[in-house]
A and B are shown apart, each in its own frame.
Chain A
């Protein structure tokens, strides 16, 4: 049974008198521990797709099956619960809470599942150590470099032990050296059994993945598995 199964996903917007078909009949299945990149130029429907995959938005029609639940029929609070339990978000611009330190940021998702303070702290510390920031836990986001911030964000995504990690242009704001480091971290996580889904427009980044899905005009244009020679 696939971890994710999308069937006939449409997402249409009404813009003035015009109907915009941001997503137009997407069918895709992703298995557990897959390492998938969605690529496409801007306007291809990447962001819309990411929002639906991340349960931030609901499809106009179609079915979304995530780890045993039908997501398309859920209300706001149920979606929040799914985001908290099943999904770890990583954003291009890190999106850390500016007033909380690294530890506080990583603990935050656990607040919404009513974890006690001490256990929260323990889990967050462990997650920060995993991404190599064991010595930066008390720093505020603006005291950290871009790469470090993204590591905090990754720790925040991992701390809830989600079934999928969803990364939206995770290296978009980083220099090439740091990008490589972050991508190595992703590779390691994949090696540990994590399911990873990246959205990117950079071929170099997509090359890390086993499977690359290209979107164009709201449709899947190409879906191919990379062989070992193409990777890296």
Chain B
């Protein structure tokens, strides 16, 4: 068996390289198919690896609680909310919490003005605890302090993007700017975090939670988000269960009612991203496998031509003692090698393409090919070779030696 494969490979390589250009054109379908699969997979995998990394930097032991209104409720005008009372309750009764902070986002993008410059940005009211929960550290100045909240000070910590957009000096501390007509003093500049799947994490301004509440006006119970980080010994699931029970009780939910809030962990978000990327990979993979199919038909076509062309040779081989399986193996292995070769070229090309795209688009994560994609690409092209090589090979093997020898 090994001898047969070795000898057939030897003669197959001879005949592939004897018609170099034709072999290349034959396998071009496979090359293109595999190249596009690998390009897409390497990009999405690079993306996915990047997201994993970003999440681990966020810290996996943080939870976000938000109000949640089911769609059926929302169309009736009902609106669930998470209130400062809930925050207080969790602060008092929650277990396994290291630090906790409310986040009160401005309801829409808000205009910020500095001199003649202005920009729109996301403004959030929060407390000193946000720094630990969200791992948002300042590179200059200081973070929001407890006293800022107690006295509703008009101070802000800003991200690099805002500093840049407003044309603030590179150390913007002690500068003043205007948010919706109110003057704020910049007290700190956050460390740059970069893009996170298309969101600029540096386009952010933080102000004290109490200041935000007074700015929004006299609405007594605004809808807030609560972010908390767990203490080292706490278990995420236990904490989630306990908080769920607390909030359900506080919101007077009966046993049949659904939660009017959600507790999210970074893992859940991560899972969502992974699902999306997986679906994209699958869909593109499906489309591309059609091109592999077409490539396979191309190989079959040329192999059939090649069998006809080499009819006499087949006759000679049979006359000097080739059995059916010798001829079958020779042509089958030729088809498989042809498509494997295409697979290899496609692999290199696809990886090059992925790397080129990821380096051409700034802020796009570098491409990476997982081992399974290589195995799959080569396995699939080998399979295509067998699938579409078997018919021509069988045709060759079944030729009658006398007819084949007589063939002109």
Contacts and interface: CB of A to CB of B under 8 A. Distances in A.
A89 B323 CA distance: 16
B326 interface: yes
Nearest to B18: A99
Contact of A113 (B15, B318, B321, B324): B321
Interface string A123-134: 000000000000
Nearest to B320: A109
B319 A89 contact: yes
Interface string A104-144: 00001101111000000000000000000000000000000
Contact of B319 (A76, A81, A95, A113): A95
B402 A57 contact: yes
B3 A156 contact: no
B401 A56 contact: yes
B14 interface: yes
A85 B321 contact: yes
B14 A112 contact: no
A83 B14 CA distance: 25
B323 A81 contact: yes
B166 interface: no
Contact of A97 (B3, B316, B321, B402): B316
Contacts of B81: none
A95 B312 CA distance: 8
Interface in B267-292: none
A97 B15 CA distance: 11
Nearest to A100: B14
Contact of B323 (A51, A80, A97): A80
Interface residues of A, number: 27
B405 interface: yes
B18 A80 contact: no
B158 to A, nearest CB: 74
B387 interface: no
Interface in B9-31: 14-15, 18
B7 interface: yes
Nearest to A57: B402
A84 interface: yes
A59 interface: no
B323 A77 contact: yes
B316 A80 contact: no
Given A56-B401, A99-B14, A77 B324 contact: yes
Contacts of A108: 317, 320
Contact of A56 (B18, B322, B323, B402): B402
B320 A89 contact: yes
Interface in A51-96: 51, 54, 56-57, 76-77, 80-81, 83-85, 89, 91, 95-96
Contact of B321 (A51, A95, A98, A109): A109
Interface of A: 51, 54, 56-57, 76-77, 80-81, 83-85, 89, 91, 95-100, 108-109, 111-114, 156, 160
23 contacts: A51-B402, A56-B402, A56-B405, A76-B323, A76-B324, A80-B318, A80-B321, A80-B324, A83-B319, A83-B320, A84-B320, A95-B315, A95-B316, A97-B316, A99-B14, A99-B15, A100-B14, A108-B320, A109-B321, A112-B322, A112-B326, A114-B3, A156-B320
Closest 6 pairs (CB-CB, A-B): A84-B321, A112-B321, A109-B320, A80-B323, A77-B323, A95-B316
Given A83-B319, A95-B315, 7 more contacts: A56-B319, A57-B402, A81-B323, A84-B321, A100-B14, A112-B320, A156-B320
